[in-house]
Amino acid sequence: MWKYIKHYLHFALLAAAFMVGEVLMDLIQPQLMSRIVDEGVLGIGRGGSADLSLIGNLGLRMTGLVLFGGLCGSLNNVFVHLSGQNIGNEMRKDCFGRIMAFSFPQMDQFGAGSLITRVTNDITQVQTFFFLFFRGVIRTSMLMFGSIFFMFRLSRRFGLIVLCAFPLITGVMAVCLIHANPLFKKLQEQLDKINTILQEDVSGIRIIKACVREAYEKQRFGAVNSGLVQTQSHILFIFALMNPLMNALMYGVAAVLLLTGSREVHFGSATPGSIMAAITYTTQLLNGILMLVMLFQNISRGLASWRRIKEILVSEPLLKDGDFRRESDVKGEIRFKDVSFAYPGNSRLILKHINFTIHPGETVAFMGATGCGKSTLVHLIPRFYDVTEGEVLVDGINVKKYRLKDLRSKVSIALQKSELFGGSIEENISWGAPEAGPDAIRRAAETAQADTFISELADSWQTVVAERGMSLSGGQRQRISIARALVKDAEILIFDDSTSALDLRTEARLYRALKETYPNSTKIFVAQRIASARRADRIVVLESGRIAACGTHEELMASSRAYRAIWDSQMGEEERDG
Ligand SMILES: Nc1ncnc2c1ncn2[C@@H]1O[C@H](COP(=O)(O)OP(=O)(O)OP(=O)(O)O)[C@@H](O)[C@H]1O
Ligand SMILES: [Mg+2]
């Protein structure tokens, strides 16, 4: 945390200095009040005659002190906020940077909901922590220790009474905090769950409505929310127990002080003014302790949040850059050498002993039943995950040896689920390669068969796409995603079931255009339909993570039972669409 504090230390120190000013003013006032009563009103030391000019003089000084104290308080507030907000901003930026550098397994591990809670709510908690620390803790602890110091100056006995009560008060506080601390961590974890459900349900609201699952989702949300309320109540209960205990201790101390003080006044060893000052100091002290209790609640929560933020900040990207810099002579060759793969933290092998080579410029289609590992296989080419066994080579070099940036500029992928960003269509396509000019964008859109529908939209290329592309049809979204992948002009193009929402005629035009416009790129399709796959130079059939067959459509029809079974199941569709 020091890394962040040190940049804004100047604000923090200024805040602390103004705080010292504010507290000193609070501490001097009871002394002046005591003099007003003893010397001004009761005339102690002046034979019992009141001194109006002294009262006026001290009254003016007190007013000055109040104004100065108020000014110091306001300035402290300003600088505390400045440091807290800047520290929060830095943390947010750093967390975001880390998340952007996360590898896929790290995203899987944290989960989107938790990451959102950490970057928003947890950072706000840490900001509150800073605010309370600099305003609250410093102020109350200075006020408390100052009060004890001035009490000793008034009378040693007063000081001792307060000091004796101190261990008792801090003991009660410590017990409560020890019990409350783990609950704050639990509270943030429950917030994670709430955010995860919220995120899922808000983005999936259409399907929830379509399936009339509103009540179920409300119940799911309600269950997590009740858990949160339960933890909050538990924390409240602890502090609700603590408050009356602290109050009792506080008033006990005040009573003992009054009792001792009145005896001392009676015997002439103390003045009424000093008793008044002692009571004011006791009130300040006890209010300080109560305030500290409240502060500790927030501070424990802030520290729990800080630990969660730290987990993001210390997470190094799992996939490290390699050091290969040279350009290879081969362009677009892919080779899998005995590749097996299991998702991190999961022992089940999704891919088993995969061997194949795809030559530069070749078009290969991957087919197979749903869940057999097609997406997983193509994700290994741009190194979204590292293989468990074997090697994936691009242009003869192990993908682990590339700088990720270089590898991913060679490999362009249109993912199975098309994700668009809020912005114009043109921006969404050029997002794949910000340096691409208008001609490249048009060319990519034409190849993806997207130009016709784009020009028919109200604002054509400038039409703004709603969040996640919801204002477009599934097929339109897919074509924009394909255009986005094409605009990069990469050597290897991967389309993971990216044409599933297109009608067969549009799909056929797209494949033809791809072949003509990008003749030298290696093209990999994941396809469900034989009508799509048969256009490829080679078809690879996967079965439960293994290669079951590989060859042209005709070869597979002659030799592969698995392929013929798919053909038989799609025959009707094939015949119909030619
Ligand atoms: N991030 C992940 N963590 C753990 N397991 C996963 C993950 N992603 C996929 N799987 C599992 O890996 C297996 C293969 O998934 P994959 O997405 O590669 O299938 P697929 O062949 O592309 O299927 P589809 O045709 O439905 O897209 C599935 O059993 C799936 O449950
Ligand atoms: Mg898939």
Task: Kindly state the tokens that stand for 152.
Answer: 């000793």
| DSSP states along 526-568 | E-S-HHHHTTSSEEEEEETTEEEEEE-HHHHHHH-HHHHHHHH
pLDDT average, residue stretch 360-368: 92
Q: Taking the domain 2-313, which CATH number applies?
A: 1.20.1560.10
For the CA of 374, the closest atom of ligand 1 is 21
Q: Report the nearest-CA residue for atom 23 of ligand 1.
A: 371
Q: Is the CB of 350 inside a 6 Å radius of any atom of ligand 1?
A: yes
pLDDT average, residue stretch 394-420: 87
Q: Is the CB of 347 inside a 6 Å radius of any atom of ligand 1?
A: no
pLDDT band at 141 (very low <50, low <70, confident <90, very high): confident
394 C-alpha vs ligand 1 centroid, how far in Å? 23
In sequence order, what are the residues at sequence separation of 6 or more whose Cβ sits closer than 8 angstroms to the Cβ of residue 218?
A: none
374 C-alpha vs ligand 1 centroid, how far in Å? 8
Give the closest residue to 52 by CA, choosing from 41, 60, 44, 64.
41
529 C-alpha vs ligand 2 centroid, how far in Å? 13
307 C-alpha vs ligand 1 centroid, how far in Å? 32
pLDDT band at 279 (very low <50, low <70, confident <90, very high): confident
Query: Is domain 334-577 given the CATH code 3.40.50.300 in the classification?
Result: yes
374 C-alpha vs ligand 2 centroid, how far in Å? 6
Ligand 1 mutation pick, 104, 343, 413, max ligand atoms within 8 A of CB: 343
Per-residue pLDDT of 74-103, as tens digits, reads 999 899 888 889 999 999 999 999 998 888
Q: Is the CB of 371 inside a 6 Å radius of any atom of ligand 1?
A: yes
Give the model's pLDDT for residue 385.
Answer: 92
> pTM value?
0.72
Rg of the Cα trace of the chain? 36
Q: Give the alpha-carbon dihedral of 476, 482, 484, 485, to 10 degrees.
A: 170
Q: Is the CB of 370 inside a 6 Å radius of any atom of ligand 1?
A: yes
Ligand 1 mutation pick, 108, 341, 349, 374, max ligand atoms within 8 A of CB: 374
The CA distance from 296 to 302, in Å, is 9
Exposure string of 156-190, with b = 16+ CB inside 10 Å and e = fewer, is ebbbebbeebeeebeebbeebbebbbebbbbbbbb
Task: Kindly state the tokens that stand for 75.
Answer: 């300035």
Segments making up each domain of the chain, as ranges:
2-313, 334-577
Per-residue pLDDT of 430-480, as tens digits, reads 887 878 788 888 889 999 898 888 888 888 888 888 766 667 788 888 899
